[in-house]
Amino acid sequence: MNKNIGFILSVIFGVVCFSAGTYYSWIKIEDRYVEYTKKWDKINSDVEQFVEVSNPKTIQFYVAELRKILDDMTRLSKIIEKGQEIDEAIDKILEGIVQLESQWDITLSNDIKMKETIEVVNDHIKDVDIRAKSQIQNVIDNEIKDIDTRIDKQFEQISKDLKEIKDIINQIENSKVGKKIFK
């Protein structure tokens, strides 16, 4: 009977050890599952952002918007008499658009570098936009100052001419013939 008790205790000890090992392994598997789930969620989020950004319709929309901006700037250059500075700015913008289009093409073909390329393109767009607005504002300010100066000169000339005409009329009125006519 001692052998049976020893055997039973051995079996019980084995079952307890097996159960404890299985429980410990299960806890470790659960921890790993949670860790892998977090990693999967992050990867899934990154992939969703990438898919959203790499959508060709989105890219075409941005290119179309850039072309509209370019068209507006072209119309503005026709309005302003001294458009050389604006033409230079438009050329820079056009170069920027060409660069952006080539960068977008590269971006679509190179999925791994998509996020960095989009950041570079966005920074470039902001830089081009800031420079273009600044250059256009400078040209407009200079044109307005020039127009104001020309208007002031014309008003001064008109005032001088009116004074001369008034003096001539006074001379005519004060002359012998004028005194007879205007009495």
pLDDT at 148: 86
Nearest to 142 by CA among 92, 72, 81: 81
Mean pLDDT of the chain: 78
Q: Mean pLDDT over residues 92-113, rounded?
A: 72
Q: Where are the domains of the chain?
A: 1-53, 55-148
Nearest to 72 by CA among 90, 58, 84: 90
pLDDT at 130: 83
pLDDT digits (tens, 9 = 90+) for 35-90: 888 888 888 887 777 766 667 777 777 778 878 877 777 777 666 655 566 567 67
pLDDT at 114: 59
Compute the distance between CA of residue 88 and CA of residue 90 in angstroms, rounded to an integer: 5
Whether pLDDT at 183 is above 70 = no
- 4 pLDDT band (50/70/90 cuts)? confident
Return the residue matching tokens 């060709």.
56
Nearest to 59 by CA among 6, 120, 119, 104: 104
Nearest to 47 by CA among 111, 92, 93: 111
pLDDT digits (tens, 9 = 90+) for 34-48: 888 888 888 888 777
Contacts of residue 90, defined as CB under 8 A and 6 or more positions apart, other chains included, come to: 70, 73, 74, 77
